[in-house]
Structure formats: structure tokens, C-alpha cells
Copies of this chain bind each other. A is one copy, B any other.
Amino acid sequence: MAGDPLDDLYDRPGFMIRRAHQIAVSVFLAQTDDLGITTTQYGILVVLRHRPRIDQITVARLLGLDRSTTGMVIRTLEEGGLVARVVDPADKRRRSLELTQAGSDLLDRLAAPAERAVAQLLAPLDPAERPVFLALLRKLTGAFDATSRVPLAKGEGGPAPSSEAI
């Protein structure tokens, strides 16, 4: 078992991150099994709840996703009756997005399974290790928000998120 040359591969950050992603998706799907939704769809629903009448390019930027990917997933959500999409009369390039009642209801029902998924994912770490891990993960990913090929634009497209800092 010791000295396997593949251990070098297993210890690479990229390999472990791929594995962590695979596990996180799998755990989420297992916890939400009967609700038939994916992690990407869930993220879009959450954005739509907090940014009603947003367009899909802005959704993509808020999630750090590609425009094509986002458009495709949103079409799936629309076909499933979870999202309503209408051409913005003020700017006919845009399609104004909004959760339907079914989408909002589903999001409510997802809250508990999503929390269980987080708990299950972090369960292998000691309680004291969890904030350390998450802080380092936040530091690493946050450093690439502006520079990666698919940048992430937090706080965009919103109803002026409290421009007064009090």
C-alpha cells in the first residue's frame, strides 16, 4: 500500500478538488433524491429568489457560470415550470426571469435537504476543522473571482445592495 506511485496523483490539489466536487454533487443528489433537481439548478433558483426579473447573463455572472451553460439550464427549468421567462418590453434583447409558484415551493422544500447535504459533506471533519477548511477554501476561490476565465461578479444586478454601510 505504501509507496504506490499513484499516491503522487492522489495528493494533487486538482485531483482532490475534482473528487470533492464529485462527492458534493453526489451527496446533494442523494439528499434531494425525490425532488429531481441538480446543484446547478438549485443555485439558479436561489439567485432568482433574491434577484427577481434578472436576465440570464447576469445570473451567469453571479454564479460564475458560462452564458451558454446558464441559458441551457434555465431552459430546462422553464420547461419544468419552475421559472418564467418573458421578453423584457423595455429591452427586447433581455428575457426577464422569475420563479414560478412551483419554483418557489420547490426551493422551500429544498432547504432542509440542502442543509443535510452540507452536514453530511463536512461530517468527516472535526467541528473545529470545518471553519478552517471553509475559510481556506474561501480564500483560495475568492482570489480567482476577478481573474479566472469565468469570473464571478458577486453583488451584481441587485437592487443596490444597501449602498449605505450605516
Partner-B contacts on A (CB < 8 A):
1-7, 9-28, 30, 39, 43, 46-47, 50-51, 62, 64, 114, 117-118, 121-125, 129, 132-134, 136-144, 148-150, 152, 154-155, 158, 161-162, 165
Determine whether the beta carbon of A161 is less than 8 Å from that of B26.
no
Determine whether the beta carbon of B46 is less than 8 Å from that of A150.
no
Determine whether the beta carbon of A162 is less than 8 Å from that of B13.
no
Determine whether the beta carbon of B161 is less than 8 Å from that of A20.
no
- Work out how many copies of this chain go into the complex: 2
* A156 CA / B132 CA spacing, docked (Å): 33
Determine whether the beta carbon of B64 is less than 8 Å from that of A19.
yes
Determine whether the beta carbon of B132 is less than 8 Å from that of A132.
yes
Q: How far is the CB of A102 from chain B (nearest CB, A)?
A: 21
Determine whether the beta carbon of B124 is less than 8 Å from that of A133.
no
- With both beta carbons as reference points, the residue of chain B lying nearest to A142 in the complex is identified as B124
Determine whether the beta carbon of B136 is less than 8 Å from that of A129.
yes
* Known A-B contacts A15-B43, A136-B132; A148 and B22 likewise in contact (beta carbons under 8 Å): yes
Determine whether the beta carbon of A121 is less than 8 Å from that of B10.
no
B26, B39, B138: the one contacting A148 at CB < 8 Å is B26
Q: How far is the CB of A120 from chain B (nearest CB, A)?
A: 10
Q: How far is the CB of A61 from chain B (nearest CB, A)?
A: 12
Q: Could you say which residues of chain B place their CB within 8 Å of the CB of A1?
A: 155, 161, 165
